[in-house]
Structures are given as structure tokens and as C-alpha cells.
Amino acid sequence: MKTAVVYASIHHKNTEKIAKEIAKTLKADLKNAINTTPQLNDYDLIGFGSGIFFWKHHKKILELVDSLENTEGKSAFIFSTSGLNRIRPDFHNALRTKLREKGFHIIGEFSCKGFDTFSFLKIIGGINKFRPDDIDLDNVKHFSKRILDHWKTEIEISSSERKYQSKIKKEQEEKQERKQIINKTKKTQKTKTTKKKKINPQIKRKPPLKQKNKVKRKKSKSKKTTNSKAKKKSKTKSKK
Ligand SMILES: Cc1cc2nc3c(=O)[nH]c(=O)nc-3n(C[C@H](O)[C@H](O)[C@H](O)COP(=O)(O)O)c2cc1C
């Protein structure tokens, strides 16, 4: 199993502290996404993190995720540092959505406050001075251990899950094959019976429309001739 921790930390290197701690616990490769585009093809588990800039992760991280290929079924976790609590709005939303769209299975998320001197905050000396602090680092250590445990069980589950899935797939394929055979035999039987129906002489066929009309016309002609005969008779009677 190969793990990478990818981060972007530009404001006060707050997120870098978190990324380093995670990488140490997970024995993962640490990759800075600011100056290079890390190659992540070989990794099964990848952590993505940065400071929060205007309610989102750093654009280098978001762009990196956009550029990734063949990520279906891989696992990921998210981390961040920010001036404010991430609850409302949830600063992880954008990255989480992108990762899910790419087919990543997200197994954990971590966030804590970071020193922030953005804009007018500079005037008052910033907020969250000294964060992330020892408590934050302790928390992130626990988070990393949980990720490790989860990952271990995840691997066990996924191998047995894979076996189970392949078994189900086989069964479904066999079922479909059987269905196809049944459908084929049904179709051939149907065509045989319809052919028989066409040849069957016992079925009385209705006369075609033209013939019907001819019969009607004949009838009306015969009516006309009988009428004219009757008229002639009456005429001769009256003359007498
Ligand atoms: C331009 C800029 C925009 C920021 N936007 C937000 C924000 O939307 N929400 C927030 O809570 N913090 C915001 N911050 C504070 C940073 O997220 C915070 O300081 C973070 O810890 C910086 O991480 P870094 O030192 O690893 O880059 C902003 C900071 C800067 C400089």
C-alpha cells in the first residue's frame, strides 16, 4: 500500500505543519503542490490539504484533483487549516465534491484553526496566533492513526468484498446467459407457430373488399331489373 500527502501552504505554513505530522504517522510520501504537479498514479491512498482561501482549498489542490486520471476506487482524505471554523459553510465542500466525482472513496477529514493575518486582521496582529499548536498536532496524530486503522480494515474488507463481488458477477452473467437461451428458444417456437397459422386451411378467410363490393353491386343490379320489369307490367295493365 502506497500513501501520499499532498499539500499547499502559502500564508503562514500552517497546513505544512499538519501535513508533515500526517505523513510521519502514515509513513507517507510528502508532496508540495505549489511549485510542482505531483505524480500520484502509483498511490492507493492520498491525503489532500491546504489553507482555506475564500471558503475553498487552495486552487493548486483543486486543479491537481481535476487533472488526475485513473482514480476510480482509490481512497483519499482531506485536511485543512483556516481562520474560522469550517462548519458553516463547510470549506471542504468543493474539494470533497471533486474527489467524489473522480471516484475517490473519502475515508476521513481533518481541520483546525491556523494563524490568519488576511486583510484587516493584519492590523490587529492576526487571529489564532500560534495555531496549529501542540493540541492541534496531537489531534492530527490521532486522526492519522484512525486513518491507518481504517485503511487496514478497508484493505481487508475490500479484498473479501472483491471476491464477493466477482462471485455475484459470475452468477449474474450465468443468469443472463440462461435468460438469453430461454428467449431464443421462445422466439423460434413462436415463429414456427405463426408459420403454421398461415398455412392452416381450416381457417375461413373473409372475402377481400373488392369481391364484397362486386357482390353488393350484383345484388343492386338484380334489384333494379326486377323493379323495371314490375314497372313495365304496370304500364301494360294501364294501357289495357
Ligand atoms: C487571501 C486569503 C483568504 C482567506 N480566506 C479564508 C476564508 O475564506 N475562510 C477562513 O476561515 N480563512 C481564510 N483565510 C485564512 C487561512 O485559511 C488561514 O490563515 C490558513 O491557516 C492558511 O494556511 P497556510 O498558512 O497553510 O497557507 C484566508 C487567508 C488569506 C491570505
pLDDT tens-digit readout, 158-213: 666 666 777 788 888 898 999 999 998 888 888 777 666 555 656 556 666 655 55
SS3 220: helix
Structural contact between residues 36 and 154, judged by C-beta atoms closer than 8 angstroms: no
- Candidates 13, 50, 17, 2; CA nearest to 137 is 17
Considering only CA atoms, which residue is closest to atom 1 of ligand 1? Answer: 53
Mean of per-residue pLDDT scores for the chain: 85
- The least confident of 17-21, 59-63, 151-155, 198-202 is 198-202
Which helix (H) or strand (E) covers residue 80, if one does? strand 75-82
Ligand 1 atom at shortest distance from the alpha carbon of 52? 17
**DSSP 8-state assignment for residue 31:** E
Place of cell 484587516: 120
Probe residue for ligand 1, chosen from 50, 111, 118, 129 as the CB with the greatest number of ligand atoms within 8 Å? 118
- In sequence order, what DSSP letters do the residues of 131-185 get, joined into one string? -S-HHHHHHHHHHHHHHHHHHHHHHHHHHHHHHHHHHHHHHHHHHHHHHHHHHHH
CA angle 83, 39, 24 (to 5 degrees): 55
* Grid cell digits, residue 23: 505523513
Which residue puts its alpha carbon closest to atom 8 of ligand 1? 54
196 alpha carbon – ligand 1 mean position (Å):
81
Q: Are 77 and 109 in contact (CB under 8 A)?
A: yes
CA-based end-to-end distance of the chain: 127
Task: List all residues whose CB is within 6 A of at least one atom of ligand 1.
Answer: 9-15, 51-55, 81-84, 114-116, 118
Instruction: Please name the fold of domain 3-163.
Output: Rossmann fold (3.40.50)
The set of cell numbers assigned to 16 is 505544512
Which residue carries 508532496 as its cell? 31
173 exposed, middle or buried (CB, 10 Å; 0-12, 13-18, 19+)? Answer: exposed
CA–CA dist 20, 124 (Å, integer) = 29
C-alpha cell at position 190 = 413462436
pLDDT over 90 percentage in the chain: 60
Length of the chain: 240
Cβ–Cβ < 8 Å for 141, 25: yes
CB-based burial label for 130 (10 Å; 0-12, 13-18, 19+): exposed
What pLDDT, on the 0 to 100 scale, is given for residue 86? 76
22-72 pLDDT, tens digit each: 999 999 999 999 989 999 999 999 999 999 999 999 999 999 999 999 898
φ, ψ of residue 99 to 5 degrees: the values are -65, -40
* Residue 177 or 216, more confident: 177
In this predicted structure, what is the pLDDT of residue 166? 72
Record the pTM. Answer: 0.70
Give percent above pLDDT 70 in the chain.
77
The answer to whether the beta carbons of residues 139 and 112 sit under 8 Å apart is yes
